[in-house]
Chains A and B, each alone.
Chain A
Amino acid sequence: MSKYIALPKGITEPVFDLAIKEYRAILGDAGVITSQDQLAPYCRIMLAVPDAEHRPSAAITPQSVSDIQKCLVVCNKYKVPVWPISTGRNFGYGSAAPATRGQVVMDLRLMNRILDVDADLCTALVEPGVTYQQLYDYIQEKKLPVWLSVPAPGAIVGPVGNTLERGNGYTPYAEHWMMQCGMEVVLANGEILRTGMGAIPNSNTWQVFKWGYGPVLDGLFSQSNLGIVTKLGFWLMPAPPAYRPFVIEYEDDDDIALIIETLRPLKTGGVIPNGAAIASAMMDAVATVRRADYFKGNGAMPPEIIEKIKKDHNLHAWNVYGALYGTQEMVEVNWKIVKDAVKASGKGTVLSFDELGESYKFKYMGELMRGKPNLGEFRRLNWIGGGGVMMFSPVCQARGSEAAKQMKMAKRIMDKYDLDFHNEFVVGRSDMHHIIGLEFDRTDPDMVARTKACFGELLDEFTAAGYGTYRVNTAFMDKTAELWGPVRRDVNRKLKRALDPNGIIAPGKSGIYI
């Protein structure tokens, strides 16, 4: 029986032994993990597939760019693939486990230096292991007048991983990839590339000007496996003098089209500048209650039970979480504009957070909208329990009719598989991330099977209807790549062969292989 819990594809145990020995010579014994109990946390996934399909063979923890370069020599020599992670907390999308079984996880958590925060230029440069909480604490400690933009599980995830995955937050700087400015990448052959203005030695514009000279290469390394990002620059928001979070409450499920038509001009016009979230009652319920306290069946919750939850917890059909930022004068002007627009629409109740009662969801959304990391999002894991969650995340025009159409499609498919439907729209400029949560109990084989089938059908139907997902979990990356067409896949393959001819960096990421 093998001493390893898995082996890289095509690699024999004697060859892997040699690679492990060479990794140990570079990183020390503590930097190379092969025992089952130390690897167990890397194996845990939340997907509707067995853990074994994504089981790593080992984990290595380099502490510097030089360590990474030396490890890549070993990888190339023995053709051992590595799966780089920053904090490895890609919850709902694969966590720390690799896309394919047997890869060595390259855990960059020990590369956790905050390299620079410039409060005048509002920029930051960090290493992959830095978490949002660490950066937030640093900013507070130094009393710097800047705000972060953090994703929902912000406290324990990091800007490098989240930005490269094109995740989003809830402040005016919500579109994290748009705020990225300059990165350092170790290529598969060990060369170091600095994108943007960073290619110029001694550049002091690396984090202020995105484009550099010639083709903009940054995108090649986002949701990608063409290099290992070891430094990432991004923009910070100057701390506004005034901040007013608010909620707009709607009582009918069918109000969604009206909500978006009311909100869109306020977004494109810059009145509501943040990544506003339009959350359904069920989305709020998931963060508030335990399903089993209301319904013990395995199928979708009946409408009358949903109504009871809404009534018991004062939940509204839709809650729009938005915020205003700027000077007090600006906030007051925009507050009037928002209230007048909602009033003119004929529906909706606008409440500032001061006017709201105690609510867990309001509290944690209020924190997220001012860039304060928290873990409130994790409460959704208690909704059903059993450790399963996959996020289905198509992009939608910020148009009411489109949102209604997507919801109808999603509900039909989820009803077919007898799963609860809950969703929210996070509004960008004229786009929306439509986030549909599939929580499930991984100890229930029937529920796992239904959830997996449902996700596949959602992916098929939405893509066929012209709606691509902005991000997808590791169990569905190959399928997604296929759905996005052969030309794209072929271009990605050519790039991969050019930059990583041995296919040693994260094979399978976004369905890209040599």
Chain B
Amino acid sequence: MNIARRDVIKGLVISGITGALPGGLAALTANAEEHFRLASQPRSIHILVAGSSLDGPFLDGAIASARRLGANPSVVRLKNSLVDDLNQAQELFRSRRPLVALLGSADGILLVELVRGNGLRLSVRGQHTVSGPASTHRHQLDTGTQSAGLDASLLAGLGSHSWPVLLGGSLMQIACGSSSPGFLGRRGFLSQADQGPQRPENLTSLLIQG
């Protein structure tokens, strides 16, 4: 089922997202059989960030999810904005690997243009306006993952105060081809997302596939 765009109203609080937190990193709960299946076919996946104040938790979630699912994450940090050097992105696309990204507005728009120009697939596009505590954040999401469970999990995660971790984890999960809805457990972990970012951010999240 295709999920059309959903607006997550600010102040949305998701109950029931609790869980253990091994090793100081959030863990993505997944079906064991599926984990074995995916782990036996490691995929290389790029994670692209551009220096936002939420890169850290986003990467935490994406990398933890990748390792859980047996994927091989490769973190790429933009040296400059794509405004100044669009070739950085073209290089990434040459590999045709899935790409999970958290970028500023301008970079996000440019990357989407390159997706179209290269005939790639834009599986998820999110717009996130964040300022102050997580309960005041605004999110919009477009997703065509064909998995109602995953989409619901992703949407639910956005209303949580650990949304960057959840977002990174969920996008990675989709990139790995997992069809099981999962959630990111946390308990007792004080992340930057709890307090809100140090500076207001307008961010674009993307999952691009070949």
Residues of chain A whose beta carbon lies under 8 Å from any beta carbon of chain B: 1, 5, 30, 35-38, 40-44, 46, 51-52, 87-89, 91, 96, 107, 109, 155-156, 292-293, 296, 375-376, 378-382, 384-387, 441-445
Contact = CB atoms under 8 A, between A and B. Distances in A.
B112 A44 contact: yes
B118 to A, nearest CB: 10
B116 A385 contact: no
A299 B84 CA distance: 30
Interface stretch (B20-28, B134-142, B161-169): B134-142
B184 to A, nearest CB: 22
Interface of B: 1-2, 4-5, 7, 81-84, 86, 104-106, 108-110, 112-113, 115-117, 119-123, 125, 127-129, 131, 138-140, 142, 144, 199-204, 209
B125 A109 contact: no
A133 to B, nearest CB: 9
Contact of A292 (B84, B109, B199): B199
A277 B81 CA distance: 25
B202 A41 contact: no
Given A37-B123, A292-B199, A376 B105 contact: no
A37 B123 CA distance: 5
B116 A387 contact: no
Given A40-B142, A51-B5, A385 B129 contact: yes
Contacts of A43: 142
A236 B194 CA distance: 56
B108 A387 contact: yes
Contacts of B209: 37
A181 to B, nearest CB: 28
Contacts of B1: 1
Contact of B129 (A37, A96, A382, A441): A441
Which are the 9 A-B pairs with shortest beta-carbon distances? A385-B202, A36-B144, A41-B116, A292-B200, A40-B122, A37-B121, A385-B105, A381-B106, A443-B138
B117 A382 contact: no
Given A44-B112, A378-B106, A378-B110, A38 B121 contact: yes
B86 A155 contact: yes
A216 B120 CA distance: 41
Given A41-B116, A444-B129, A381 B105 contact: yes
B152 to A, nearest CB: 17
B91 to A, nearest CB: 16
9 contacts: A5-B2, A35-B144, A38-B121, A40-B125, A292-B200, A378-B106, A381-B106, A442-B140, A444-B129
Given A441-B202, A444-B138, A378 B104 contact: no
Contacts of A155: 86
B128 A375 contact: no
Contacts of A387: 105, 108-109, 127, 204
A37 B201 CA distance: 26
Contacts of B115: 40-41
